[in-house]
Structure 1
Amino acid sequence: MDNHNNLNASQEPKGRRRKWEAFEEEVLLSVLEDFVARKQRCDTGAFKQGTLIEIAKAVNVLCPNSNIKATPHIESKLKKWKKTYSLVFDMINTSGFAWNDVKKCVEVDSDDAWLSYVQKNKEADGWRSKPFPLYDRFAYIFGKDRATGNVAETPAEMMEEQSHAQVGASDIGGENVVSSMNQQSQQSTPSENSQRKRKRAMGNSSDGTEAIISGLKEFYVESGKRMQMVTEALVQGTSNHTDIANELEAMGLSPMDQIDALTLILEKPQNVGVFRAINSGLKKVFLKNLASLRYRLSQR
C-alpha cells in the first residue's frame, strides 16, 4: 500500500468533522501560499490530489501530531474556503457593490440594492459590512476569476485599476474612439479565440509538465535541507542553543514565556530542527501548536 495513504485518507468514522485550531488554519494558509508561489496550483485555481498530499506533509511538519489528512481534512477545508471566497467575489463584482480595502468588507450603495441581491442569493445574507480580512489571501490562493478565467485580482488592485480607468476616460478624444473601434473590428471571434487557446494549451502541455516537475524538485530540495537540519538537531542534541534563545527574545516574549518556549522546543530534538528551519512568520504559530499539544496531552 502507498506510504502516502496516512496523509491521504482519513481513518475517522464517517460523519465526524475535524475541528481545526486557529493556528492549524494559519499554517495551512501559509503552506498554500508557498505552494502557489512555487506554481503548484492548476490554472483553474484548484490543487491536484498529489499536491494535496504534499501540502498535508508540510502542514504535519509544522503541526506535529495533528494528523491532518489530504482527504478529507484539507480537501473539505479548501472547499469551504473557496465557497466563501466565491461568495464575496461575486458580491464585489456586482453593480452597486464595492470593496472597502481599509475595513476589509463589502459595501453596498443602497439598502434596496442589498435587499434585492439577498433575495436572489440567500447565502449572502449577513455579509454586508462584515469584516473579511482573509479575502486577499484567498484571492491569491484560489487565484482565478471564475467568470473570465483571468488571474484573480485583490480588491485593492481592482480599485486602483478603476481609478486609472476613470482618469484615462476623461482624456479620450475622437481619434482615440475611432482607433478603438478599428481595433475591435480586427479582433478574432470568440470561437476563433477558443480554438487558438486550445491549440496553445495542447502545444504547451509538455512545458507545463516540466514546470510542475521542476517545482516539485525545488520543493523536495528545500524539504531535504530542512530535514537535514532536523537530523543535525537529533545528532547534536547537546549543541549550543543560544541562537534560539536570542530569537525568542527578539520575538518580544516576556522572560517567563521565553523560558517556557525554550523548554518546549528543547523537549524534542526535532522541535529544534523545525524551529530553525521555518520562516520567522511561522515560529509563533509553531510555538502555540507545541503549547496546545502539551496541554491536550496533559488532559488525557
Structure 2
Amino acid sequence: MESVATSESCVGKFKKADKTRRSWSEREEELLIQALKEASIQGWKSGNGFRPGYLSFLENRMKVALPNTNLRGNPRINSKVHVWKKLYGSLVTILSRSGVGWNDTEKTIEASINIWEALIKADNNARSMRHKRWIYYHDWCEIFGNDRATGEKAEHFTTAVQEVLIMTPEVPNNIGMSVDDLFSVDEGAAESMSQSLTPSSRPTSTANSKGKKRKQVDDDDGAIVEAINNFAIITKDTITDLIKQLATEKEADDEKMRNAQENLLMVMETIHELSEDEKVIVIELLVENPAKLSLFLRLGDSGRLSLARRLLRSS
C-alpha cells in the first residue's frame, strides 16, 4: 500500500525534495494519527488547531510506542502535522466542488476528465492529487474537522493588512514598516516611537541649524505621521468590510448547513438496516462534523451504510 507520506510530494512547492527530510514509515504515521486523536480527546484541541504544548504530548506518545525513535516535536512532527493539515484542506476544497465524488473503497477522488481539467486549471496542485490514495482522509476529518475554514479567514486578514501597508497613491510608504514591525512593539517602545514621531518633539542639532534643514526634518516627520494616520483609517475601513464579509459568509454557511441537515434526514429514512436509535446517533455525530456530513451525502447507499456503522462503532 502506498504510504500517505509519499503524497506530500503532490504539493507543488515540494516538488524538489529536501535532502535532509526524513521519510516516515507507515507504522510511524499510524501511531501519529492515534496520538493526534488522543490529543483531541484529552483537550489539546482549540478552536482552530491545537493548544501550545501539544507537540510535546505527541512526542511523548511516539516515544512510548517507539522507545528508540528519533522523532521530535520540532521539526519532524510539527512539519508532518502541517503537511497533513494542508493536504486535508486541499481535499476538502476539491470534494466540495460540484461533480466531484469520493470512492470510499479505494480512498480516491472521483471526477470526470472535464471536471479534473477545471480543477487543475483553478489549482495546478490538483494535477498530482488525482490518482493518489488518501487512506487517512477519514482520520483527518476526525482530527482537523473545521480547522481549515478559520485558517482561511486568518490568511485573508493577513493579506488585507499587508495590502494596507502599501498605503494609498497619495501617501507613499517610505517608512519601511512590515506587519511584524507593527505587532511586535511593546507599550514602552510604542510610547517612545509616538514621541519621536511628533514633529515638535524633535530637537534641533544646533542653535544655528539652517532653516532649510529644519524644514526637511519637519516635512519628513509630518509625512510619517500622515502615513500612520492613513494606515489607521484604511485599517478601520478594511476591518469593517471584513466583518461584513464574514457575516455574509456565515449566513450562507448557515443556510448551506440547514439544507445539508434536511438532506441528511431524508437520506437516513432510506437506510433500513439501522434502528431508529442508531439513526439518531449517526445524525448527531454527522451534524457535529460538517466534513463527514458532506462526505456522507456524497457517498452511495453502501458507502453511507458503511460510514454510519463506522461512526456507531467509534461512538
Give your verdict on TM over 0.5: no
- Name which one, 1 or 2, has greater alpha-carbon Rg: 2
Normalised by the length of structure 2, the TM-score is 0.41
Normalised by the length of structure 1, the TM-score is 0.43
